[in-house]
Amino acid sequence: MNIANALECCFTSESPYWRKFLHGIQRTAQKVAWYPSSGYDFYPMLYFKKHTFETMNINIDLSCYEEPDLFIFSDYNPDNYINEPLICDPPRIRWHEHRNHSIDVNYQFEISPKENCFQYLINREYADFPPQYDTFKALCACLNITCYDIVERDGQCRVWQTYAIFFYCENVNFLSQFILRQNVSVSHLVWKRDGSGLGGGRLSHCFLLPISKILKTQWFYIWELYWDWNCYNGLPDELVEYKDKCPKTPAEVFQQLVTCGQHEWCEDKMYFCSKKISNP
């Protein structure tokens, strides 16, 4: 399903910007990037851009690459955003340790899940803490990103507009109850963080690679620590209904990937890779 239709089906908002946002992504959002457990790490809005590949030693055929139109970030604990608000005053996304870009907010608003649309259940085998009070709520934003390193012919710094949604939701629930249930395609995927021992969680996100076949993912950022991951216990219980539709192990997915380069991302070495193009 188109991401705009999926959002309209499952969420609601009283904001006057809701229809404008849906219209904007309906018109532009053909490619969706998802970063599970993102916290305040918003680098995908830069690192999936074509103009940054040269500086990051990414070797890819740009004629075959498409940038994301919509960025989805999900984080388990909304208290993080309450203690340190996502949007500053003046309206600007918090952007730690990056002086060459700024992210300014054109408009932003909250959306809430429709009644009885989701059944949010936390599996205590891999999470220690209960659901939060505003689970599945989200902050939608239309953003202007300014790159101070690139000056256009008119002497102005390069600026581009993008859309982003920041979901307050545990990742397995978000994946099973929204993305997969609504058949939303995720063209770009970041596997940099997971809950295996961090923040009270005990679940590795290695299931993202097998599931990526269903998501129709084409481009990946994968942390060096997870490269050639061989510790895999199968899909979480909430995703077992999809086991016949995806590869049995992450290793099978790794074999289908082409490494296009690697670079430092917040002191972590990340691999950028793409799915191999199948011959007709």
- Residue partners of 19: CB distance under 8 A and separation at least 6: none
- For residues 125 and 18, give the distance between their C-alpha atoms in angstroms, rounded to a whole number: 37
User: Which residue range(s) make up the domain with 174?
Assistant: 3-191+215-220
- For residues 69 and 142, give the distance between their C-alpha atoms in angstroms, rounded to a whole number: 11
Amino acid 94 reads R
Q: What is the pLDDT of residue 67?
A: 93
- Could you tell me the pTM of the whole model? 0.90
Q: What is the pLDDT of residue 13?
A: 96
User: Is residue 187 domain-resident?
Assistant: yes
What's the farthest any 2 CA atoms get from each other in the chain? 57
From the list 246, 262, 252, the residue with the least C-alpha distance to 229 is 252
Q: What is the pLDDT along the chain (280 residues), one digit of tens a residue?
A: 899 999 999 999 999 999 999 999 988 868 999 999 887 788 899 889 888 887 777 888 888 899 999 999 988 765 555 455 555 544 445 554 455 777 888 898 999 999 889 988 777 777 666 666 667 888 899 998 887 776 666 777 878 899 999 998 888 889 999 999 999 999 999 999 876 444 456 778 888 999 999 999 999 999 988 876 666 778 888 899 999 999 988 888 888 999 998 888 877 889 999 998 654 4
Q: What is the pLDDT of residue 25?
A: 94
Structural domains of the chain, count: 1
User: Is residue 143 domain-resident?
Assistant: yes
User: Is residue 263 domain-resident?
Assistant: no
Amino acid 7 reads L
Convert the pLDDT of each residue in 246-275 to its tens digit. Answer: 998 888 888 899 999 888 887 788 999 999
Peptide bond into 90 cis (omega under 30): yes
Q: What is the pLDDT of residue 129?
A: 65
User: Is residue 43 domain-resident?
Assistant: yes
Q: What is the pLDDT of residue 90?
A: 46
User: Is residue 74 domain-resident?
Assistant: yes
Q: What is the pLDDT of residue 263?
A: 83
Q: Alpha helix locations (H) across the chain?
A: 3-10, 17-28, 44-47, 50-53, 79-83, 171-174, 208-215, 250-254
- For residues 176 and 214, give the distance between their C-alpha atoms in angstroms, rounded to a whole number: 12
User: Is residue 80 domain-resident?
Assistant: yes
User: Is residue 252 domain-resident?
Assistant: no
User: Is residue 164 domain-resident?
Assistant: yes
Strand, coil or helix: 222: strand
- For residues 198 and 204, give the distance between their C-alpha atoms in angstroms, rounded to a whole number: 10
Q: What is the pLDDT of residue 198?
A: 44
Q: Exposed, middle or buried, 129 (CB in 10 Å: 0-12/13-18/19+)?
A: middle
Q: What is the pLDDT of residue 130?
A: 65
Q: How far is CA 172 from the centre of its chain?
A: 13
Strand, coil or helix: 262: strand
Convert the pLDDT of each residue in 88-130 to its tens digit. Answer: 544 445 554 455 777 888 898 999 999 889 988 777 777 666 6
Q: What is the pLDDT of residue 3?
A: 95
Q: What is the pLDDT of residue 61?
A: 87
Q: What is the pLDDT of residue 154?
A: 74
Strand, coil or helix: 113: strand
